Structure 1
Amino acid sequence: MRTETSTGTSTARRRPRPRTLAVLVVCLVLLGAGVVAGVRWAREATGTVTLLANWSGAEREQFEENVIEPFEEKYRIDVVYQGSSALSQVLAADMAAGNPPDVAVLPGPGELLSYAADGRLQPLDGLFDPRQYDGMWAPEVTVPGRGGHTYWLPVKTGLKSMVWYRGDRPDVRSAGKPERWCLGMESGATSGWPGTDWVEDILLQQAGPRVYENWANGKLPWTDDAVRKAWTTFGEVVGAGGNRRVQQALTTGFGVRCAPGRLEHQGSFRAAHWQPMGDYVHSAEIIPDAGPDAGAWEVSGDLATLLNPSPEAEQLIRYLADPDTALPEYTANKEAAPDGGQDSTARKIGESLRKPGEPRCWDASDTMPRTTRDAFHQAVLRFLVAPKQLNARLTELEAVRTVQDLPVCGGG
């Protein structure tokens, strides 16, 4: 076929090559498929829910793959996830701006208690059965003027009071030298928490759960002899003082790999680092002057709470409480079936977190108000550098002590 140009000369119209046509057809098919999928999702989605948590990296990927994506597929609800390592600051800013997330997941109940007292949290009554959890995990909280309600549920739990090792099983005598311990305090906005774990666990093993719970709830002064002894024991075990080792610990991340022959006082999240040749003992076996009530486990947990009630947000809460939901790491839900694919270490950790009669106590700093918790983190860092100034540190902490009433210990 030929056509005439405006100048009267004739030119040939070039036909598309077969390969070009094939590529064009494939592109059009893929584009059409994408449009159809998008239209289908828009037609079937029932709504959106925003979720704020502090998980990032592999932890976030695991949560999105195992929890969020199955939820979205099952209920056609889009989950908009926001992750932040500065979780407390982000949530406080969102609250102040009047734009909080629908659901937030925070570590420990201390900060949540203050939000509940301010009327910021929505009761979870009727969305799940709290009896599926030990009372310390999903308690009924009484707020003046609002009665008693359940305001949070555990999404992910962890075991503490653990001393990881390879080789010979450690005891008080063999673990007594500071150079045997891995010690990393750096953790961004929450630097110092590995040290607070030490102080808390020592107090728990030396003084027992009752004293520990009173202290965590602000009913026992920071200047009490039992608390002071826990601090001094911590300093002696890790070698506090203005030395090179302490200076290095202040800038070393809590997750840095331990050198051969070292011990590590860390929680169950470190299991992968110590496997397959490593194991752990209860910290009561290595803490000096452990008392007659030693043996309780310190535990941690990420708690989900509802800030903006909506059918979509409430459905997410129900889903997170469902025993069949594949939550990350360890669940505190007593109805959840054990994972047959877990190794012996993971099964042992899971049993300690859920077994009836096993005494467990919350990580104390996670139960404290945010101001007290942050001051505790800073006090640990300063104590490691200058242990002789302990009286000043305890006086500073006593000034921010706040009395509250949370079920800190349970299971026993």
Structure 2
Amino acid sequence: MRRPRLRTLGIVCVCLVLLAAGAVTGVRWVRDKGSVTLLANWSGGEKKQFDKVIEEFEQEQGIEVDYQGSSALSQVLAAGIASGSPPDVAVVPGPGELMTYADEGRLHRLDALFEVGRYDTFWAPEVEPRGSRKGRYWLPVKTGLKSMVWYSEMKAEQVAKSAHSPDSWCLAMESGATSGWPGTDWVEDILLQQTDAKTYGAWANGTLAWTHDHVRKAWSTWGELVGVGEPKRIDQALEDSFEKACTRRLEHLGSFRASHWMKKTDGEYVHSAAVIPEAAPLKRWEVSGDLAVMLNGTKEAKQLIRYLADPGTQLPAYTVNADAPVPGDSRTTRREIASTLRGLDGTLCWDASDAMPRVVRDAFHQAVLRYLISPETLDAELEALDRLRVANQGTTQLPVCG
């Protein structure tokens, strides 16, 4: 048998190399379907869980995710929009800031990207921004329960009595660019429990004055509970991070603190109405939510929204997708929280500051810090906030309570 000539072997080798290169190129072409930029702010265990979600999306879809994390999320998003280079998808806490962008025509409708019936209309409402089509402009990817008072070292019936001693409370305000929000949570929750959903919604939407007696009373009640104006205590509160472990008997923070308090043998929570003076008997819960929006309607961005809405995607707790399973751990606390967030135990109302325009919300954060130091300036703080309210009226009103 004749041996192939060297020239023939060389041609065959070159062809095989080209074919191999073509195969590799073909595989890359199949797997590399573009990229999507994502702006969000996750930390701790939730960040690890969300990283896993993104990794699985990249592997399944072949789409690279350029994740941009920032604790100054609102400022980064505003700067991106102003410069004409916003992220494709952003995950923003609360609907207030988003409603402003929807009114400006910055957001794309999501109606065709997820099954609307999977979400209660409270979480994914149909809104009609000025000059835009009526529709659903955000998708809840993570939710949190508030109106919670965590406690240990006592029985539930002893919590109310202990609450009247400021020394019983953990109080920490530091949170980087959003320092002060634990205080706004307090004021909001007290107003919600002392009045009703209609009054609370009017205040959040900017139609009830900050100088109204109900609002002023909420601030004063908070001040009495936590001991505003006490230099040593307040100085420490301004320095301490909200993530710091609580070493006292009571803490007014949301469901994200469950892991911390469940480490204690008797750690549990009661509804905040149990400790708020003159609280109404009906159960109303303040809630928060991280909402995904699409600022650039690319096919990659649409695919990411679809993936986040898939009930099989293991998002950080707690999801309100009706087709996603409720947490099934051995402790009932997480199941109770998840059920409440799905509207099974009272009325849900958005965190009021998250429903306000960004400039009002940011001023609210700063006002609570100043009030802690100098409670005698309360009237001046409320008057300044009310001027901001009037100056920023005009945004489409939100359904604040479900």
**Aligned length in residues:** 372
Q: Say whether 1:266 aligns with 2:258.
A: no
Call closer, same or farther: CA 1:37–1:301 in 2, change over 3 Å: farther
Q: Give the deviation of 1:380 after TM superposition.
A: 0.3
Q: Which residue of 1 aligns with 2:319?
A: 331
- List runs of 5+ in structure 1 lacking aligned partners: 1-35
Larger mean CA deviation between 298-307 and 274-283 belongs to: 274-283
**Whole-angstrom distance in 2 between the partners of 1:37 and 1:55:** 36
Q: Say whether 1:51 aligns with 2:34.
A: no
**Whole-angstrom distance in 2 between the partners of 1:38 and 1:365:** 51
**Whole-angstrom distance in 2 between the partners of 1:323 and 1:153:** 13
Q: Give the deviation of 1:40 after TM superposition.
A: 4.1
**Whole-angstrom distance in 1 between the partners of 2:195 and 2:335:** 29
Mapping of 1:71-220 within 5 angstroms? 71-168=57-154, 169=156, 170-220=158-208
Please tell me the residue identity of whatever aligns with 2:386: E
Please tell me the residue identity of whatever aligns with 2:60: K
The structure whose Rg is larger is 1
Mapping of 1:212-231 within 5 angstroms? 212-231=200-219
**Whole-angstrom distance in 1 between the partners of 2:330 and 2:181:** 28
Q: Which residue of 1 aligns with 2:269?
A: 280
Whether the 8 Å contact between 1:300 and 1:362 is mirrored in structure 2 is yes
Please tell me the residue identity of whatever aligns with 1:406: L
Whether the 8 Å contact between 1:56 and 1:83 is mirrored in structure 2 is no
Q: Give the deviation of 1:349 after TM superposition.
A: 0.7
Q: Say whether 1:409 aligns with 2:380.
A: no
Please tell me the residue identity of whatever aligns with 2:400: V
Whether the 8 Å contact between 1:185 and 1:194 is mirrored in structure 2 is yes
| Structure (1/2) with the larger helix percentage | 2
Q: Which residue of 2 aligns with 1:313?
A: 301
Call closer, same or farther: CA 1:213–1:376 in 2, change over 3 Å: same
| TM-score, normalised relative to structure 1 | 0.87
Please tell me the residue identity of whatever aligns with 1:266: L
Call closer, same or farther: CA 1:124–1:342 in 2, change over 3 Å: farther
Whether the 8 Å contact between 2:103 and 2:131 is mirrored in structure 1 is no
Question: Which of 236, 254, 260 in structure 1 is aligned with 2:242?
Answer: 254
Larger mean CA deviation between 146-155 and 125-134 belongs to: 125-134
Please state whether the residue corresponding to 1:241 is helix, strand or coil. Answer: coil
Mapping of 1:25-64 within 5 angstroms? 40-41=27-28, 43-64=30-51
Percent identity over the alignment is: 59
**Whole-angstrom distance in 2 between the partners of 1:342 and 1:94:** 44
Please state whether the residue corresponding to 1:72 is helix, strand or coil. Answer: helix
Q: Give the deviation of 1:358 after TM superposition.
A: 2.9
Q: Which residue of 2 aligns with 1:322?
A: 310
Call closer, same or farther: CA 1:233–1:96 in 2, change over 3 Å: same
Please state whether the residue corresponding to 1:150 is helix, strand or coil. Answer: coil
Q: Give the deviation of 1:178 after TM superposition.
A: 0.3
Whether the 8 Å contact between 1:103 and 1:313 is mirrored in structure 2 is yes
**Whole-angstrom distance in 1 between the partners of 2:42 and 2:28:** 27
Whether the 8 Å contact between 2:123 and 2:140 is mirrored in structure 1 is yes
